[in-house]
Structure 1
Amino acid sequence: MQYKTEPVGNSLPKADSAKLGWSKLEPSQFRHPYDTQATEALRRLFPFEFLVRQGMGGVIEQAIFLDNLSSGVRVGPNQLPKIYNSLVEAKRILALDIPVDVYVKQNPVPNAYTMAMQGKKPFIVIHSALIELMSPQELQAVIAHELGHLKCEHGLWITVANIITNFAAQLPGLGRVLSEVMSMSIMRWLQSAELSCDRASLLVSQDPRVVVSVIMKLTGGSASFAGELNPDAFLSQAREFEKERQMMSNAAQMLTHPLPVTRVRELDAWSRSAE
C-alpha cells in the first residue's frame, strides 16, 4: 500500500535566540501542556525540591561527574570542536546560560542522556554509535533535546517524584496502591517531558524534518542505509497509527518515552501551530 506523503512543517532560517526575541526564553514557552501540569503539581511540594537540591542531589551528581571525567571524552574547543560549536549555538538559541559539559562515551547503542539536580555540574553524555548514525544537524537536535531537559529541570523533578512514590509505598493500607498510581503518573510525565524536549529540538533546528529524522533513526535506523530513510514517509506512518492507536494506549502508558510515531505527530502539530 502506498501513502501520500506531506512535507513535515516548514523549514525556517537558522537564527539565534536574540534575533528571534527569545533572549529571555522561559521553559513555559515550549513545555508540553502535560509536562506543565505535572511540574506544577510537584512544585507544591517545595520541601522535597529543597532536600533534593541540597541533599542527595549533590552526592549523585559528584559521583556521575567523576565517572564521566574518568571514562569519557569531554568535548571542548580543542576536542571534537564541531560538536562543541553545535552545543554553544544550541545553548544560545535556548537562552541557557549555565555551563554544560558534553562527554562522548564508547557504546554500540545509539543514545544520549543528561542529568542535573543541583545545577552545579550539568552534563550531557553522547554514545559514539549515536554520532555515527546522525548527521551534524541531527546531532545538534539531539543535543538540543538534552538541553531541553536541563532548561526544564526534568532531572530534579523526576527525582522528587520518585522520592514521593517510594515514600507512599511505605505507608500502611493503601500505600502500595497509591505508589502504583503515582508510578503510572510518573511514566506519563516522563513521556510528556520528552515531548517538551522535542520542541526544544525544533526551536534549535528550525526544521521539523531534522527532528523527525532523529526520532526515525533511533526507531529503526542504521548508518549503512541512513540515506534511504524518508522523514515524510515516517510522518505518514505516524498519521496512520493515529487511527489505530486505541489498542495500544494502555500498554504505552508504562513506557518511559512516548511511542516514536506519537512524538512525530505531536512535533508536527506544534511546528504548524501559531505557538
Structure 2
Amino acid sequence: METKKTRKTLSHLYTYEYEHPFDRDSLDRLERTRGLEMLTQRTLDWGLEKYLLIKATGDNIQVTQSNIPELYELLLEACRILAMPEIPELYIQLEDKITSFTSGEKRRVIVISSGAVDLLNDAELLFLIGRELGHIKSNHVLYRMMADSLKVITQLISDVTLGVGNLLSMPLQIALMHWYRMSEFTADRAGLLTCQDPDVAANSFIKIAGLPVKYHGRVTVDDLKRQAHKFDNLKESNIDKLIRFVASYENPQPFTIIRASQLFRWIDAGEYERLLKIESAPPQISPTGCPNCKFPFEEDDMFCQQCGYRLR
C-alpha cells in the first residue's frame, strides 16, 4: 500500500471545462447523423441496458467495503475528488489486459479487469477509475453501451427485419465508433484530475500499452513524452482523420501513444493546473434541478455536473 496522498476535491468542476474538443465535435456530428434517434429509442426499447447489466454483474466479482476494502476505498476517493455523490457499483472481470468499462444509465456499474488490479498501483488504479467516472460525469454511458454492443444490435435488427433492415447504416456505425474513441480523450483528462499526478497518468499509459512486467520501471515518463511528442507535429485534423479510419476496425480505443500525446498537450497548455487551482464558489442552486437527473445546478451552468445534460 502506497503512502496516502492528499488530493483536492474538485467540487466546482464542470464537464465542459475538461472536455476534449475532439469529443464535442464528433458528438455533434454523431447527433446529426440520420438514424441515431431511432436507434437510441430502439436500443432502450429492446432492454439493452438490462442485458449489459446482467452481463457485467452476473459473471464478475463485486468489490465491496467488506471483501476488498482497499480497492473500494479507491472508488470512494475518486468519487470524492470528482464530487460525485452517487457511488457506482464496482466489479472485477477476469482479463489479463488493463481494461475497464462502465455500464448502466440508471444503475451505474464500473468493471475493471483483474489485469488492471495486478499491474497498476493504487494511484494508477485511481486514474483508471477516474476515467470511468469521467464517462459517467460527461453523460457518455448510453452511447458507449450502444457502441460496445454493435454486433448484438445489428443481429437484433436483422432478426426483426428478416435481414433487410437498414436502421444501423454504415455512416451511423462509423460516426458512433468515431465518437466512442474520441470520448476517451475526455476520460483521460478526468482520470488525471482524479489521480492529480501527470507522472501517474503517464505510467498508466506505459502499462496500458503492454510493457511486460519484467520491464516495468525501465521505460520512463520522459521516454513516453519523447515518443508522444512525435505526434505533436501532426495537425489535429490529421489525427481526427487517422482515428476516423481506425473506427472502421476492431480496435476499441485510440492509439495509446496518441492518447498520451493529447493529454501531455493539455497539461503543457496549462489547463490541468488551471482547473486544480479553481476554488469552489458558493453555488446558486436552481430550485428545479436538472431536467434529466434532478441534480441541483447553478443558474449560469451550461451542463449538469452530475450527468452532463445540456441545460441551455
Higher mean C-alpha displacement, 254-263 vs 146-155: 254-263
Write out aligned runs for 1:33-52 (5 A): 33-40=21-28, 51=41
Write out aligned runs for 1:214-225 (5 A): 214-225=204-215
Is the alpha carbon distance of 1:111 and 1:46 closer, same or farther for their aligned partners in structure 2, counting shifts above 3 Å? closer
Q: How many residues align?
A: 249
Task: Work out the CA distance in 2 between the residues paired with 1:40 and 1:108.
Answer: 35
Task: Work out the CA distance in 2 between the residues paired with 1:105 and 1:47.
Answer: 32
Work out which of the residue numbers 193, 198, 201 in structure 2 matches 1:211: 201
Task: Work out the CA distance in 1 between the residues paired with 2:268 and 2:233.
Answer: 20
Is the alpha carbon distance of 1:252 and 1:47 closer, same or farther for their aligned partners in structure 2, counting shifts above 3 Å? closer
TM-score by length of 2: 0.68
Task: Work out the CA distance in 1 between the residues paired with 2:58 and 2:146.
Answer: 28
Corresponding residue for 1:136?
Answer: 122
Letter in structure 1 aligned against 2:266 = W
Q: By how many angstroms is 1:237 displaced?
A: 0.7
Write out aligned runs for 1:78-157 (5 A): 78-116=66-104, 118-119=105-106, 121-157=107-143
Corresponding residue for 1:16?
Answer: 8
Q: By how many angstroms is 1:38 displaced?
A: 3.5
More helix by share: 1
Corresponding residue for 2:288?
Answer: none
Q: CA contact under 8 A between 1:31 and 1:196: conserved in structure 2?
A: yes
Work out which of the residue numbers 209, 230, 235 in structure 2 matches 1:240: 230
Q: By how many angstroms is 1:77 displaced?
A: 1.3
Is the alpha carbon distance of 1:89 and 1:32 closer, same or farther for their aligned partners in structure 2, counting shifts above 3 Å? same
Q: CA contact under 8 A between 1:209 and 1:232: conserved in structure 2?
A: no
Task: Work out the CA distance in 1 between the residues paired with 2:90 and 2:257.
Answer: 28
Q: By how many angstroms is 1:230 displaced?
A: 1.1
Paired residue secondary structure (2:102) = strand
Q: By how many angstroms is 1:110 displaced?
A: 2.7
Is the alpha carbon distance of 1:66 and 1:191 closer, same or farther for their aligned partners in structure 2, counting shifts above 3 Å? closer
Paired residue secondary structure (2:213) = coil
Corresponding residue for 2:220?
Answer: 230
Structure 1 unaligned spans of 5+? 1-12
Paired residue secondary structure (2:8) = coil
Work out which of the residue numbers 60, 69, 86 in structure 2 matches 1:72: 60
Q: By how many angstroms is 1:14 displaced?
A: 4.3
Q: State, as a whole percentage, how many aligned pairs show the same letter.
A: 25
Higher relative contact order (CA 8 A, sep 6+): 1
Structure 2 unaligned spans of 5+? 272-312
Write out aligned runs for 1:251-270 (5 A): 251-254=245-248, 255-270=251-266
Corresponding residue for 1:3?
Answer: none
Q: CA contact under 8 A between 1:87 and 1:143: conserved in structure 2?
A: yes
Paired residue secondary structure (1:182) = helix
Q: By how many angstroms is 1:53 displaced?
A: 8.6
Task: Work out the CA distance in 1 between the residues paired with 2:82 and 2:42.
Answer: 25
Q: By how many angstroms is 1:24 displaced?
A: 3.9
Is the alpha carbon distance of 1:224 and 1:92 closer, same or farther for their aligned partners in structure 2, counting shifts above 3 Å? same
TM-score by length of 1: 0.76
Q: By how many angstroms is 1:144 displaced?
A: 0.7
